[in-house]
Amino acid sequence: MSAHISVRDLPRVRDVALTLASHGFGELARILGIETATSASDKPFAMRARLALADLGTTYIKLGQVLSVRPDILPKALLDELATLQDNAPTVPFDQVKATLETELGRPVDEVFKSFDPVPLASASIAQVHGATLIDGAEVAVKVQRPGIETTLQSDLHILYTLARLVEGQVRVPGLYTPVEIVQEFEQAIATELDFLQEARAAARFRANHEGITGVTIPLIHREYCTRRVLVMERIHGQKLNDVESGSAAGREAMRKFIESWYFQLFEHGFFHGDPHPGNIMVLGTGHICFLDFGLTGTLTGEMQDVMTNIFAGLVFRDAEMVAMAVYRAGATAERVDLKAFRGEIERLMAKYHGSSLSDLSTRGSLTEFIEVATRFRIQLPREFAVVARAGSIVDGIAKRLLPNDDIVEEVRPWAQRLVQRRFGPERVSADAIRVFQQAQAAFRDLPTQANQFLLDLERGRVSVTARDPDSEALRLEIRHAAVRISLALCALALSVSGTMMVATWAPELWGVPIWPFVGFLTNLVALGMFFGLVMHWLFAARIHPREWWRRLGAVFRFFFGGRSS
């Protein structure tokens, strides 16, 4: 998609800047090129950020909600604050809901629903939910997308991309992501959330994965009535998990079923609910628990599951080395990592969780803390691990309320033992051995060809060995700077002397004007400019980056003229 906005969006950019300034972010407004007074505020940074997003409206609230599950992008204080963002969207009139339904379903509402409640059960920024009954008598919940919301989000995305490019390099962003990469993550998340067919497929897959698990219910999706903007699923009646009494027998049983489901999601199927907060989990009259809202889910590959297995087993059995190496190998690093210090931080965190009751622990989720430590050591983990970590912290919060006096490590130990037995059982070990032998056979088969290729390249001089030393790179940069300064000084001096000599010469004349003094004067101006450049280079060489200047100039050009080609 286009990464710029057009001139017609400038009033909205001004609104954004003024809103930021009103919450104490005047520096951002000035970067956007709008001078405005900054309101003083003694509120914490995280709270001011949440209030600013709430005032900016639908897209920015959704941005905050999407980022609230990404501990690899934002710090814990900001995550917790953004998690409280509420849509509080006004309800859509029923005639608009009816028009959307009939357009999407291709027939009158009365031909699909025996009854349809015009008063919504819930209303959010993307959609609202109504209770209804199908022609065959089945009770359903109907999720209908708000009219025009997709166009609004796309327009705001144009603005977000431009804002991100303008502040990139000028505002320090926590974590390992740049402002543009954060907007890209948001764009991917919002594209998924706007397509209700993807949510329908996720819910159906979730239901199939839980068919063999006793005590866990997933609503039935009526696929024949689902479209990109309409989702029809079985209506569930029950008590929300956050309404269950703390420490009660019902709460303990619900939590154990929840842990069992979480184990199967992560380690058996590799497909998990990305937002399992208490409002999305219900306790039914039968004692079963039921998951709702499948707009945010995650998928783990087999390799990711192995990493999660090592992390989970290492946490339970207090093996800091296993956890540290699993996290390190799963992530990407652009620089050397001090593994000894990293393992020490992991061990310090693990010591806090062993032998402590949930009520004694901090509000911070264990997996979230490990992600924060990895980020501090510049280890960038795949997105799925960050979503798992944030979901795990939500699970921690539920467990703290329902099992306040229990040791969470002891609660999950049986599942860890089962996981290790499965991971290192005869079937898995033999399968791994066969796979290793197959890979080794392929490698040995290709080895002669690769060796011949290498020898031929070596013979023809196509092989080169390059060594890089950061200190030598810095030395080369200093030498380059010194050469530039010496060249500027010599050229400026030569021009200055030449210009002075020409100024002293009064012949010949052209139309009564002495030629050489005029040329000498211009030469001295050039020399003066070169002396000025020499001083600037000496003072600010470390900050002068011509490529960055060209990039910013290009961003400004696209800001004013790029929208015409979109």
Buried/exposed code over 307-345 (b: 16+ C-beta within 10 A; e: otherwise): bbbbbbbbbbbebbebbbbbbbebbeeeeebeeeebbeb
Class of domain 94-145+195-291: mainly alpha
Please name the amino acid found at residue 68.
S
**Based on the number of CB atoms within 10 Å of its own CB, is 256 exposed (0-12), middle (13-18) or buried (19 or more)?**
middle
Both tokens assigned to 380: 């960038």
On whether the CB atoms of residues 139 and 125 are closer than 8 A, the answer is: no
Tokens 């919940």 map to which residue? 141
Cα angle value 225/230/232 (rounded, 5°):
50
CB–CB of 222/288 below 8 Å? no
**Token output for 392:** 């795990």
Q: Find the farthest-apart pair of alpha carbons in the chain and give their distance in angstroms, rounded.
A: 109
| Beta-carbon contacts of residue 205 (< 8 Å; ≥ 6 apart) | 271
Q: What span, in angstroms and rounded, lies between the C-alpha atoms of 426 and 34?
A: 67
For residue 237 the two structure tokens come to 């009646």
φ and ψ of 296, to 5 deg: -120, 110
Task: Give the Cα separation of 424 and 430 in Å (integer).
Answer: 9
The DSSP annotation for 293-341 comes to --SSEEE--HHHHHHHHHHHHHHHTT-HHHHHHHHHHHSEESS---HHH
Using a 10 angstrom Cβ sphere, with 0-12 exposed, 13-18 middle and 19 or more buried, the burial of residue 393 is buried
For residue 282, the SS3 value is: strand
Using CB atoms within 10 Å of the CB of residue 161, give its burial: 0 to 12 exposed, 13 to 18 middle, 19+ buried: buried
- C-alpha span between 76 and 84 (Å, rounded): 13
Among the listed residues 183, 169, 228, 271, the one whose alpha carbon sits nearest the alpha carbon of residue 543:
169
Closest CA to 32 of 18, 22, 46: 18
Q: Which amino acid is at 528?
A: L
Read off φ and ψ for residue 460, nearest 5 degrees: -90, 5
190 forms beta bridges with none
The answer for 513, left when phi > 0, alpha when psi is -120 to 50, beta otherwise, is beta
Paired residues of 131 in beta bridges:
141
Per DSSP, what are the bridge partners of residue 333? 379
Q: What DSSP character marks residue 170?
A: T
Q: Counting Cβ atoms within 10 Å, is residue 509 exposed (0-12), middle (13-18) or buried (19+)? A: exposed
Give the pLDDT of the chain (566 residues) as one tens digit per residue.
444 545 566 677 777 778 877 887 766 666 656 666 555 667 888 888 888 888 888 788 888 877 777 776 777 778 778 877 766 678 899 999 999 999 999 999 999 999 999 999 988 888 999 999 999 999 999 999 999 888 888 878 887 887 787 777 665 555 556 778 888 888 888 888 889 999 999 999 999 999 988 899 999 999 999 999 999 999 999 888 878 887 788 888 888 888 889 888 988 899 999 888 877 889 998 888 999 989 888 888 888 888 888 887 787 777 888 888 888 888 777 677 888 888 888 888 777 666 554 444 444 445 677 777 888 888 887 878 878 877 777 777 777 777 777 766 677 777 777 777 766 666 666 666 676 676 677 767 777 787 777 778 777 777 777 766 666 666 777 777 777 778 777 887 787 777 777 767 655 666 666 676 777 778 878 888 877 777 776 666 655 555 555 666 666 566 555 544 43
Question: How far lies 171's CA from each of 4, 75, 167, 376, in Å?
Answer: 19, 16, 6, 18
Enzyme catalytic residues:
275
Q: In sequence order, what are the beta bridge partners of 100?
A: none
Q: Is 140 helix (H, G, I), strand (E, B) or coil?
A: strand
User: 431 Cβ partners below 8 Å, 6+ apart?
Assistant: none
CA distance 288 to 286: 5
Residue pair 50/372 in contact (Cβ under 8 Å)? The answer is: no
Question: What is the residue whose two structure tokens read 């052209």?
Answer: 510
Whether the CB-CB separation of 19 and 49 falls below 8 Å is answered with no
What is the rounded radius of gyration, in angstroms, for the C-alpha atoms of the chain? 31
> Is the link from the previous residue into 219 a cis peptide, with omega within 30 of 0?
no
DSSP assignment letter at 269: I
